[in-house]
Amino acid sequence: MTKSFSFTSHANVAFAMLLLFFIMSTASQAQLSSTFYDRTCPNALATIKSSISRAVSQERRMAASLMRLHFHDCFVQGCDASLLLNDSASIVSEKNAFQNRGSARGFEVIDDAKAQVEKICPGVVSCADILAVAARDASVAVSGPSWTVKLGRRDATKASQAQAESDLPLFTDSLDRLISRFGDRGLSPRDLVALSGAHTIGQAQCFTFRDRIYNNGSDIDSNFATTRRRRCPAAAPNGNTNLAPLDLVTPNSFDYNYFKNLIQKKGLLESDQVLFSGGSTDSIVSEYSSKPATFRSDFGIAMIKMGDVSPLTGSAGEIRRICTAVN
């Protein structure tokens, strides 16, 4: 009887701890709401949209850059705007991480949106939320899908270059590695493929695809490789920063040609082509290549899920006055 009672007690304690963890996690997520600023800053979303629309109208590539900022923020410490912090006495900026250095861009657009919002509602709207809204508005500005952005995130007071270099995907990642990275953040292989579809716009630097276009592999179209070699010389570091569109067909439009390209072995990055290489995600790529409405819907769903990754809410973190430094 004693042993039975002891076992039951331990089981009850374990169950109670699991239940508490679930309640706390659920409460954190529940604090995010699309109506979070309706009373405290009702013109926040319109103000952010105006800034983003203006920036993308001046440079279409900026849409891809802004979506990438939100992605690279959420994958490190959660969606907390830690990516935006500059180096300081107490901060080693995530901007210095290999995956961000020299390629992450659009920070000035976020800074402008924040400044405009601060004029109407000082100290109310977080930089983390501005990043999330900017990603949605950037997509819409290039005829991409829209989705309802949940709000109420707060800003981190710390950053981690080391964690960024450890956690952010690499252009050389295998499919299994990508699935693992996304899975660690509660994102499914379907989310992975949908979010990768953001590469329907934007550009990549020569050094990120040089090995792929010169290795004469069986997973790349030879004519495509020849075309890409024209502005990406074989000998590094020559041409390292030369740009090529991630989608050669429609580089400035948010559409589903990215997936058609993968089927034709015309993925620019190794981490793109592995999504259609005889593995478990081939069927998803095939589906999106023929069903653009499904891709657009799934992309919005995946962006919402990504925006839910470990946000700071309640009294955690702070609302920064400027996005590049803690208060």
- Measured CA to CA, the distance from residue 273 to residue 291 in angstroms comes to 19
- 2 known ligand binder: no
Residue 153 and residue 28 in contact, taking contact as beta carbons nearer than 8 Å: no
Find where tokens 């013109």 sit: 43
Find where tokens 């996304």 sit: 182
- 146 known ligand binder: no
- 255 known ligand binder: yes
- 169 known ligand binder: yes
Residue 77 and residue 160 in contact, taking contact as beta carbons nearer than 8 Å: yes
Q: Is the dihedral of CA 118, 124, 127, 131 positive or negative?
A: negative
- Measured CA to CA, the distance from residue 171 to residue 176 in angstroms comes to 13
SS (H, E, C) 211-249: HHHHCCCCCCCHHHHHHHHCCCCCCCCCCCCCEEECCCC
- 149 known ligand binder: no
Phi, psi (rounded to 5 degrees) for 245: -70, 140
- Measured CA to CA, the distance from residue 247 to residue 268 in angstroms comes to 8
- 73 known ligand binder: yes
The two three-digit tokens of residue 55, written as one number: 């920036």
70 is catalytic: no
Peptide linkage before 251 cis (omega within 30 of 0): no
* End-to-end CA, the chain: 59
Question: Considering only CA atoms, which of 194, 173, 191 is closest in space to residue 182?
Answer: 191
- 59 known ligand binder: no
- From the candidates 49, 68, 70, 72, give the one annotated as an active-site residue: 72
In DSSP notation, 244-269 reads EESSSSSTTS-SSHHHHHHHTT--SS
Cα dist from 193 to 82, 177, 185, whole Å: 25, 13, 15
- 167 known ligand binder: no
Binding residues for heme b: 199
- Numbered residues of the known binding site: 73, 76, 78, 80, 82, 94, 169, 199-200, 247, 250, 255
Q: Residues within the annotated binding site for substrate?
A: 169
Q: Active-site residue numbers?
A: 72
